[in-house]
Amino acid sequence: MAQYLILVYREEARVAAASADEWEAALKDHLAFQERNAAALLGANALHFTETATSVRPDGSGGSAVTDGPFAETKEALGGYYLVEAADLDEAIAVAEQVPVHFGGGVEVRPVRVFD
Protein backbone atom coordinates (compact mmCIF):
# COMPACT_ATOMS: atom_id res chain seq x y z
CA MET A 1 0.00 0.00 0.00
CA ALA A 2 1.10 3.54 -0.64
CA GLN A 3 0.01 6.92 0.62
CA TYR A 4 -1.14 9.82 -1.50
CA LEU A 5 -1.90 13.40 -0.62
CA ILE A 6 -4.89 14.73 -2.51
CA LEU A 7 -4.51 18.50 -2.65
CA VAL A 8 -7.79 20.32 -3.12
CA TYR A 9 -7.55 23.54 -5.11
CA ARG A 10 -10.36 26.02 -5.57
CA GLU A 11 -10.99 29.62 -6.54
CA GLU A 12 -11.01 31.64 -3.35
CA ALA A 13 -12.99 34.46 -4.97
CA ARG A 14 -15.80 32.00 -5.66
CA VAL A 15 -15.67 30.57 -2.14
CA ALA A 16 -15.84 34.11 -0.72
CA ALA A 17 -18.84 34.92 -2.90
CA ALA A 18 -20.70 31.70 -2.02
CA SER A 19 -24.13 31.91 -0.40
CA ALA A 20 -24.89 30.10 2.85
CA ASP A 21 -26.78 27.44 0.89
CA GLU A 22 -23.86 26.82 -1.48
CA TRP A 23 -21.51 26.61 1.48
CA GLU A 24 -23.84 24.15 3.18
CA ALA A 25 -24.08 21.99 0.04
CA ALA A 26 -20.29 21.85 -0.32
CA LEU A 27 -19.86 20.83 3.30
CA LYS A 28 -22.51 18.12 2.98
CA ASP A 29 -20.79 16.72 -0.12
CA HIS A 30 -17.43 16.58 1.59
CA LEU A 31 -18.88 14.80 4.62
CA ALA A 32 -20.57 12.28 2.33
CA PHE A 33 -17.29 11.78 0.45
CA GLN A 34 -15.45 11.20 3.75
CA GLU A 35 -18.02 8.68 4.89
CA ARG A 36 -17.89 6.80 1.59
CA ASN A 37 -14.09 6.63 1.62
CA ALA A 38 -13.55 6.22 5.35
CA ALA A 39 -11.50 3.06 4.82
CA ALA A 40 -8.95 4.85 2.64
CA LEU A 41 -8.78 8.17 4.50
CA LEU A 42 -5.87 8.73 6.87
CA GLY A 43 -6.38 12.43 7.44
CA ALA A 44 -7.97 15.57 6.13
CA ASN A 45 -8.06 19.29 6.79
CA ALA A 46 -9.47 22.45 5.30
CA LEU A 47 -7.39 25.63 5.25
CA HIS A 48 -8.13 29.31 5.74
CA PHE A 49 -7.77 31.59 2.71
CA THR A 50 -4.31 32.46 1.38
CA GLU A 51 -4.80 36.01 2.72
CA THR A 52 -4.02 34.47 6.12
CA ALA A 53 -0.83 32.82 4.84
CA THR A 54 2.63 33.74 6.00
CA SER A 55 5.69 32.79 3.98
CA VAL A 56 8.99 32.19 5.67
CA ARG A 57 12.19 32.03 3.62
CA PRO A 58 15.87 31.99 4.56
CA ASP A 59 17.15 35.52 4.11
CA GLY A 60 20.58 34.40 2.93
CA SER A 61 22.46 35.63 6.00
CA GLY A 62 21.51 32.99 8.52
CA GLY A 63 18.18 34.46 9.50
CA SER A 64 14.78 34.31 7.92
CA ALA A 65 12.52 36.67 6.08
CA VAL A 66 8.89 36.54 7.08
CA THR A 67 6.43 37.92 4.54
CA ASP A 68 2.68 38.25 4.35
CA GLY A 69 0.96 36.05 1.74
CA PRO A 70 1.33 32.65 0.06
CA PHE A 71 4.37 31.39 -1.87
CA ALA A 72 2.63 31.98 -5.15
CA GLU A 73 -0.46 34.02 -5.93
CA THR A 74 -2.71 31.95 -8.19
CA LYS A 75 -6.34 32.07 -9.20
CA GLU A 76 -6.79 28.55 -7.84
CA ALA A 77 -5.30 28.12 -4.39
CA LEU A 78 -4.79 25.17 -2.06
CA GLY A 79 -7.82 24.98 0.17
CA GLY A 80 -7.39 21.65 1.92
CA TYR A 81 -6.14 18.12 1.61
CA TYR A 82 -7.00 14.48 2.04
CA LEU A 83 -4.34 11.93 2.96
CA VAL A 84 -5.33 8.54 1.59
CA GLU A 85 -3.97 5.03 1.47
CA ALA A 86 -4.27 3.19 -1.84
CA ALA A 87 -2.80 0.15 -3.56
CA ASP A 88 -1.66 2.13 -6.58
CA LEU A 89 -2.17 5.34 -8.53
CA ASP A 90 -5.32 4.02 -10.23
CA GLU A 91 -6.94 3.44 -6.85
CA ALA A 92 -5.82 6.86 -5.60
CA ILE A 93 -7.23 8.51 -8.73
CA ALA A 94 -10.51 6.64 -8.19
CA VAL A 95 -10.75 8.31 -4.74
CA ALA A 96 -9.62 11.69 -6.12
CA GLU A 97 -12.36 11.58 -8.74
CA GLN A 98 -14.94 11.50 -5.95
CA VAL A 99 -13.66 14.60 -4.16
CA PRO A 100 -16.44 17.19 -4.50
CA VAL A 101 -15.50 20.21 -6.62
CA HIS A 102 -17.65 23.23 -5.82
CA PHE A 103 -15.77 26.46 -6.38
CA GLY A 104 -13.77 25.83 -9.54
CA GLY A 105 -10.38 24.18 -9.46
CA GLY A 106 -9.88 20.47 -8.90
CA VAL A 107 -7.47 18.19 -7.11
CA GLU A 108 -3.85 17.13 -7.47
CA VAL A 109 -2.71 13.65 -6.46
CA ARG A 110 0.81 13.40 -5.04
CA PRO A 111 2.46 10.18 -3.90
CA VAL A 112 3.89 10.44 -0.40
CA ARG A 113 7.60 9.82 -0.39
CA VAL A 114 8.91 7.12 1.90
CA PHE A 115 12.51 7.34 3.11
CA ASP A 116 14.31 4.18 4.04
Partner 1 sequence: MATDPAVAAAVADAHRREWAFVLAATARVTRDLDLAEECVQDAYAKALTVWGERGIPRRPGAWLTTTARNRATDELRRRAALHRTLPRLLDRTAGPGPQDPAPEPSGDGEEFPDDRLRLIFTCCHPALAEEAKVALTLRLLCGLTTAEVARAFLVGETAMAARITRAKKKIAAAHIPYRVPPAGELPDRIDAVLTVVHLVFTTGHTAPAGDDLVRRDLVERAVDLARMLRTLLPQDAGVAGLLALILLTDARREARSAEDGRMLLLAEQDRRRWDRAQIDEGLALVREALRPRPPGRFALMAAVAAVHAEAPSWQETDWHEVVALYDLLVQIWPSPVVALNRAVAVGFAAGPAAGLAALDALAAEPQLAGYGYLAAARADFLRRLDRTAEARLAYREALLLTANTVERDFLADRLRALDAAGPG
Q: Which positions lie near partner 1, rule CB under 8 A?
A: 2, 4, 87-90, 93, 109, 111, 113, 116
C-beta closer to partner 1: residue 43 or 111: 111
* Nearest distance from C-beta of residue 6 to partner 1, angstroms: 13
Query: How many CB atoms neighbour CB 87 within 10 A?
Result: 10
In the complex with partner 1, which residue's Cβ is closer, 20 or 114?
114
Name which of 78 and 109 has its Cβ closer to partner 1: 109
Burial state string for 55-86 with b = 16 or more CB within 10 A and e = fewer than 16: eeeeeeeeeeeeeeebeeeeeebbbbbbebbb
